[in-house]
Amino acid sequence: MPLRHVPDVPFCCFSAIRAALLIQRWYRQYVARLEMRRRCTWNIFQSIEYAGEQDQIKLYHFFGFLMDHFTPASSERNLISHIFRENEVCRDADWERYFCYKDIEVPDSYCGPHLAFPMTFCGVSKLMEAFKLKQQLHARYVLQILGETWRLLRILPNINHVSVCHTKEITICGDLHGQLEDLLLIFYKNGLPSCEKPYVFNGDFVDRGKNSLEILLILFGFLLVYPNEVHLNRGNHEDHIVNLRYGFTKEVLGKYRVHGKKILKLLQKIFSWLPLATVINHKVLVVHGGISDSTDLDMVARMDRHRVREASSSSQIRVPPPPGALADQHLGPGSEEQHPASLPPQPAHRRRPAELLGGGRAEGEAQAGWVRSDLQRSEDIVNLLWSDPMPQNGCISNEVRGGGCYWGPDVTEEVLGKHNLQLLIRSHECKQDGYEFCHNRRVLTIFSASNYYEVGSNRGYQASRTCRELTLRQRSTRSALRALRQQLFVHKSDLVGAFQEFDPNNTGVISLRHWATATERVLKLGLPWRVLRPQLINRAQHGMVDYQQWIRELSITDIMETMYKNHSNLETIFRIIDTDHSGLISFEEFRQTWKLLSSHLKMEISDKAITDLAQSMDFNKDGSIDINEFMEAFRLVDLSTHA
């Protein structure tokens, strides 16, 4: 066979190939840098979010500390005792009267949807259309929906067991967090709930977003119409203490100024009756947070879930005393809290069983086993709502969030095997693509709220890709760095102390390695600080950081720094102290707030400094501070850091 002649390859072809290889290498490096930036951005957002949740748990422990250490007659104790108080009405007949809506008139000027009960598919569809048009449902109808929902939830088990034939699909939705557009998108792509299209909504319907109440009303409406096809699990944000911090309380009071307080009270009751889990075809467990090495679904099924009102911390769960156990206790003459059932008990983990039950030592010892059992069940509920999976085997406390646990693949295998289950579906964690498998594909995380941290940060379940992905990621990166700079600012004093440990001669300069070590030691966010240094520090020469110059750029007065550091905590405390939800606190209440905070932070703040600060925040000089003046002061402080 004759050999074919191979023509000479022109030099220009080699140049073209070389250029193509260079372009390919450049593009791969560019994509790698983008991926590294994406991971850093994601870590920043998630670390700050979990730090906020940890602060919420610490704040709840803070209130427990106050209840332990302030005397029963002190004004500080009375100021916050109502958050530990049992609901003023507890019998079903009393709640029926509390849900009553008949004395609320719907005026002729009302242009929103009019609903008929019992609820129908047509009524829920009308409700959805009204919410799309930004219309608000009248308070009378809101109370009617809440009342019907409460009556239905009370007869539901702790764990819903759902059977779906092989020809029918069931849709499982993760966190929605008040983002109505994501719920409507899911309905658009999958169809509305019906006998042929069952749904499981896996908790965290509220907080953060602007339409939490609308989401609840839609979901409650479909639950009333299709109680066998629509299933709602409780999430860690279905908790009135968490709602104080993350926006739902503020949303309801802003939309319903007259009846908002009653609506919140009823929602608190409803949240405590939401089921804890759903099991599909005896093979798939759906729960909001996760499991632990002590999870026993049979025990969960027997719990009195409605007794767990605040799912923020297992140590704060109250054990109801036996009748008459507190009959001889009271807060003293003139106190409003004369009824023994409304006494704010101390946190369970700080009290002996006898004290917890209010009886004598013998009675307490007789009930000790029951108390420990009840506290264990409460801890199990917290684990179901707050836990996260980890790649390592074992089960450890979730110190990052401050509640629940981290569980490993071995725990997944053990719990699923024990109950003859094949898959665990959970939510609770934001994932970039809206879902993520782990533990050998035995655990699936689903998150339905898109753009959770920032526009472009993540896709929700069913969210579509867009051609603006790279631009959105860059915007998300800038937002993450801005949030990180705020965290550095609020820990300025702690950072100075950490830097000085590496600067014994007080030169004001430390190495980049020491800067990164000290910053991580203070913030504990687990971030690659040396990689982030160019975005956080403008000037660094020869691997050295002028930390004194950097700190001067973050400088502000000590008391204002303390306030900014505890910004979210203070807003939560403000709303708790404002018991009538009027949005106003007096100078005296402001002083008491600062005394509470300073006792928790172990810092001294003089009465004069607090008074001067209160007067400076009272912009209209009316002798009281409203929430807008309170938050405006923080906004001005924040702007000053960028001036």
Catalytic positions, written as ranges? 237
Return d(Cα 513, Cα 431) in angstroms, integer: 31
Burial of 21 (0-12, 13-18, 19+ CB in 10 A): exposed
Asked if residues 349 and 315 have their Cβ atoms less than 8 Å apart, the reply is: yes
Are 454 and 480 contacting, i.e. CB atoms less than 8 angstroms apart? yes
User: How far is Cα of residue 150 from the mean position of the Cα atoms in its chain?
Assistant: 23
In single-letter form, the type of residue at position 129 comes to E
> Rounded to an integer, what distance in angstroms lies between the CA atom of residue 569 and that of residue 55?
8
3-state secondary structure of 387: coil
Cα–Cα distance, 247 to 206 (Å, whole number):
8
Per-residue tokens: 405: 């646990």
Order of all β-strands in the sheet with 159-162:
159-162, 277-280, 284-287, 423-426, 443-446, 435-438
Instruction: Tell me how crowded residue 243 is: count the other CB atoms within 10 A of its CB.
Output: 24
Q: At CA 323, angle to CA 322 and CA 326, rounded to 5?
A: 85
CB atoms inside a 10 Å sphere around CB 584: 16
| Bond preceding residue 322 cis, omega within 30 of 0 | no
Beta strands in 277-348 (DSSP E): 277-280, 284-287
Q: What is the DSSP string of 454-482?
A: STTS-PPTTPPP-TTHHHHHHHHHHHHHH
Cα(83)–Cα(344) distance, rounded to whole angstroms? Answer: 8
Q: Nearest-CA neighbor of 248 among 238, 257, 234? A: 238
Which residue, among 172, 435, 443, 434, has the nearest Cα to 291 in the 3D structure? 443
**Number of neighbours of residue 89 by Cβ within 10 angstroms:** 14
Considering only CA atoms, give the Rg of the chain: 28
Q: Write the CB contacts of 608 (distance below 8 Å, at least 6 apart in sequence).
A: none
Q: What is the DSSP string of 397-446?
A: E-TTTSSSEEE-HHHHHHHHHHTT--EEEE-SS--TTSEEEETTTTEEEE
